[in-house]
């Protein structure tokens, strides 16, 4: 009963707004066309909706198997004959309603066998389907890059009627990492006179469809104009600018999820249907009505912290104050000219060039243009995305110019590499700021629909930015004695998404969009588990950065690990030497292999780090030769005022340098250690930080990496397991209870 009432209201509301509500059924999966019982059930279903006031219907036979059961094979001459017979009967049963749509199984040129003009299936449809029934068509492909009058003339001739275009240009239900915010494009305005109609299948996210629908309106208006002057002709770029101008006002309105607003001009909602792609067979509605609004959570996302009880919120505020007050490191001048240098300043001092992103702000038009360029159209990227991918590809192909062991490179070549690098870093920073503005913006409805995509791209851009910074002076060229650099040119296989996305390819051939393209340009791009994760439940507007370690970071890192150690000891200060914790946890890596250390920082400063060792065997020898003697001199066993606990830690340092089994190092020659402050709001950046290190290790030839974890540290065990790490050793690890997790690269 509730469904009938809701459906009646929906039909009435659509009619009052000048919209046609079309009720569609897809009976093709289980219907027996020759069964009178099945036809009776189908008629009963259609009659129920007709009695509610519906006057438009559709029978859809897309994306189903062509085979028929034995009974149907005996009753009908072909699959098309069976579909047409049932469709005609339903049409007559409903007394020939003014709108009745039929979607054939061969609904685009690429699905026709052997071709559109010679398809027996389409010929049967054209000859036997009643003339007032409209046939749905998507073009030459499921998602057609272009639709022209010439290509429609052929199908119109076969179907013996103008088709109705079901346009999947902006449908994104086949790729969870892509949105299509670009204008309606690639469709000649003259098509109108050759069509019975056009349906735009939109993005699944309601708020992402403003520009597609706005520009569709411009296209439709241009097609109706009789004047031939330039201003009346449809131009996608002009349509995009006009749509952006109008969208900007709405983007900064205080709309809540479900489009709740204090303004009186509530806009009507629209129902959307699924994309006719092979990936989906279900039909889910994204209609937004008042009954749905009450069920949507609306979180107070105007700060960088998730919603919590007043007590917890106060505690978190006090924690942040401690993080600010504990900073004692003086501000440093930025280091040039190499990109990725630390911004200087201790915890609590704003990173240079950053602005705090908490609170609700306004999205600028330049940021929205960047967003549209990054999520443009299925066959085409916008200017910002094209430039990003071009520069990244060039930097990757020419990174030997700035390798750590290359022969002398002409200064102008180095300048060119660093110039392109600066452009990429700047764009990655713009993406981070875009993420910050979307989360901190006033329009919560836009946030909830766009956040998963902007968050995903932000994380991928963080890895790319860190990796480009790392390449300069740290990557090994193919002259390396390790002999591994040649393999790095197989980072992303033989082709990229741009190569696969040709005119003749469907967009789902290469998934991921710009995020996927950037991912595949990285050494570990094929490891999807490092990049594809659901976004956090509570979005945060905090601005994060990942970069390679520099010497001036040592003091802040030592302070951070000392703080973490004190928390495990109940927070009580001890008489330990202030460096002893850092010397044990971080010192060997920071001194002997600083090129595999990455820093995570937010607006307050350093909040995490990850340390890597490329070759554990060689590292152990170097520790015994230089690091341990230096520690014995720094913490002498005789004389002085050395605390007994310090001596225990010195002993642990020596035990840390024990050897791992050769069976482990053969497959996993590299090692890592990850540390981050527990008040880190967006835990996904820890995964991104670890991914940055794995990218560097892989680029310099590592084939596997391991990490030692205490079995009681369930949170870290779960974190690493989700990233593809598997338990390798238990009991043979150096810690008596340690568990060694490893993953191949």
Q: Which residues are catalytic?
A: 63
In 3D, which of 97, 93, 96, 61 has the Cα closest to residue 80? 61
In 3D, which of 690, 509, 589, 558 has the Cα closest to residue 143? 509
- Long-range (24+ apart) CB contacts under 8 A made by 652-655 are 652/584, 653/583, 653/584, 653/628, 654/628, 655/734
Between the CA atoms of 659, 665, 670 and 672, what dihedral angle is there, to the nearest 10 degrees? -60
Please name every residue paired with 672 in a beta bridge, in sequence order, or none if there are none. Answer: 612
User: Which residue matches tokens 């005996």?
Assistant: 74
3-state class (DSSP) for residue 365: helix
In 3D, which of 192, 199, 239 has the Cα closest to residue 220? 192
Rounded-to-integer distance, Cα 647 and Cα 165, Å: 78
Residue 189's contacts (CB-CB under 8 Å, 6 or more residues apart) are: 219, 222, 223, 233, 234
Helix (H) or strand (E) holding 366, with range, is helix 365-374
The counts of H helices and E strands in the chain are 25, 13
Between the CA atoms of 556, 558, 562 and 565, what dihedral angle is there, to the nearest 10 degrees? 120
Rounded-to-integer distance, Cα 241 and Cα 215, Å: 9
In 3D, which of 664, 723, 726, 714 has the Cα closest to residue 692? 723
Residue 295 tokens, joined? 């069920």
Task: Yes or no: say if 397 and 429 are a contact pair by the CB < 8 Å rule.
Answer: no
Task: Yes or no: say if 530 and 694 are a contact pair by the CB < 8 Å rule.
Answer: yes
């Amino acid at each position: 009963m509730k469904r009938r009432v809701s459906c009646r209201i929906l039909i009435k509301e659509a009619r009052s707004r000048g919209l046609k509500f079309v009720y569609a059924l897809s009976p093709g999966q289980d219907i027996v066309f020759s069964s009178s019982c099945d036809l009776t059930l189908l008629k009963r279903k259609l009659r129920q909706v007709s009695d509610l006031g519906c006057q438009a219907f559709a029978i859809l036979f897309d994306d189903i198997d062509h085979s028929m059961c034995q009974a149907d094979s005996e009753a009908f001459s072909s699959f098309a004959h069976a579909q047409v017979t049932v469709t005609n009967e339903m049409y007559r049963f409903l007394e020939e309603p003014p709108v009745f749509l039929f979607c054939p199984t061969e609904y685009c040129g690429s699905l026709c066998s052997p071709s559109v003009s010679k398809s027996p299936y389409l010929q049967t449809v054209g000859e036997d389907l009643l003339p007032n029934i409209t046939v749905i068509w998507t073009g030459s492909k499921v998602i057609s890059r272009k639709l022209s009058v010439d290509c429609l003339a052929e199908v119109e001739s076969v179907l013996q009627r103008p088709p109705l275009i079901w346009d999947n240009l902006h449908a994104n239900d086949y790729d969870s990492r892509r949105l299509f915010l670009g204008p309606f494009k690639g469709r000649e305005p003259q098509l109108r006179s050759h069509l019975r109609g056009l349906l735009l299948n939109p993005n699944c996210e309601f708020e992402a469809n403003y520009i597609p629908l706005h520009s569709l309106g411009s296209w439709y208006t241009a097609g109706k104009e009789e004047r031939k002057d330039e201003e009346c002709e449809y131009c996608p770029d002009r349509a995009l600018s006009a749509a952006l101008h109008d969208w900007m006002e709405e983007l900064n309105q205080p709309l809540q999820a479900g489009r709740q607003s204090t303004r009186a001009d509530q806009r009507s909602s629209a129902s959307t249907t699924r994309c006719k792609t092979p990936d989906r067979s279900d039909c889910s509605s994204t209609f937004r009505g008042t009954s749905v609004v009450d069920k949507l959570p609306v979180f107070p996302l105007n700060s960088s912290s998730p919603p919590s009880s007043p007590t917890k919120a106060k505690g978190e505020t006090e924690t942040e104050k401690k993080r600010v007050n504990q900073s004692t490191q003086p501000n440093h001048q930025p280091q040039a000219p190499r990109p990725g240098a630390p911004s200087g300043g201790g915890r609590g001092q704003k990173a240079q060039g950053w602005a705090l992103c908490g609170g609700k702000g306004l999205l600028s038009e330049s940021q929205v243009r960047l967003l549209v360029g990054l999520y443009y159209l299925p066959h085409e990227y916008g200017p910002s995305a094209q430039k990003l991918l071009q520069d990244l590809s060039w930097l990757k192909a020419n990174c030997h110019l700035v390798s750590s062991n290359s022969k002398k490179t002409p200064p102008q070549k180095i300048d060119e590499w660093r110039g392109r690098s600066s452009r990429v870093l700047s764009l990655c920073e713009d993406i981070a700021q875009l993420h910050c503005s979307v989360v901190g913006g006033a329009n919560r409805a836009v946030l909830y629909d766009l956040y998963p995509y902007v968050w995903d791209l932000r994380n991928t851009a963080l890895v790319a930015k860190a990796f480009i910074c790392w390449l300069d002076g740290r990557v090994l060229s193919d002259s390396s004695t390790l002999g591994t650099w040649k393999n790095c040119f197989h980072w992303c296989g033989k082709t990229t998404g741009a190569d696969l996305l040709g005119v003749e390819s469907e967009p789902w051939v290469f998934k991921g969009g710009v995020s996927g393209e950037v991912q595949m340009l990285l050494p570990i791009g094929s490891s999807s588990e490092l990049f594809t994760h659901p976004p956090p439940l509570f979005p945060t507007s905090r601005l994060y950065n990942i970069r390679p370690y520099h010497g001036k970071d040592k003091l802040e890192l030592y302070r951070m690990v000392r703080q973490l150690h004190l928390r495990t000891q109940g927070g009580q200060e001890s008489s330990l030497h202030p460096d002893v914790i850092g010397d044990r946890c971080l010192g060997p890596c920071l001194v002997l292999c600083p090129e595999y250390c990455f820093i995570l920082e937010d607006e307050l400063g350093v909040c995490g780090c990850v340390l890597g060792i490329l070759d554990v065997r060689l590292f152990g020898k170097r520790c015994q030769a230089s690091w341990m003697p230096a520690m014995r001199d720094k913490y002498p066993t005789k004389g002085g005022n050395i605390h007994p606990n310090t001596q225990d830690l010195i002993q642990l340092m020596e035990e840390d340098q024990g050897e791992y089994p050769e069976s482990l190092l053969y497959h996993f020659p590299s090692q890592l250690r990850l540390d981050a402050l527990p008040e880190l709001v967006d835990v996904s950046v820890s995964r991104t930080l670890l991914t940055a290190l794995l990218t560097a290790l892989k680029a310099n030839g590592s084939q596997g990496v391991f990490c030692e974890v205490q079995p009681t540290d369930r949170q870290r065990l779960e974190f690493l397991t989700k990233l593809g790490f598997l338990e390798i050793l238990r009991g043979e690890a150096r810690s008596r209870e340690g568990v060694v997790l490893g993953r191949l690269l």
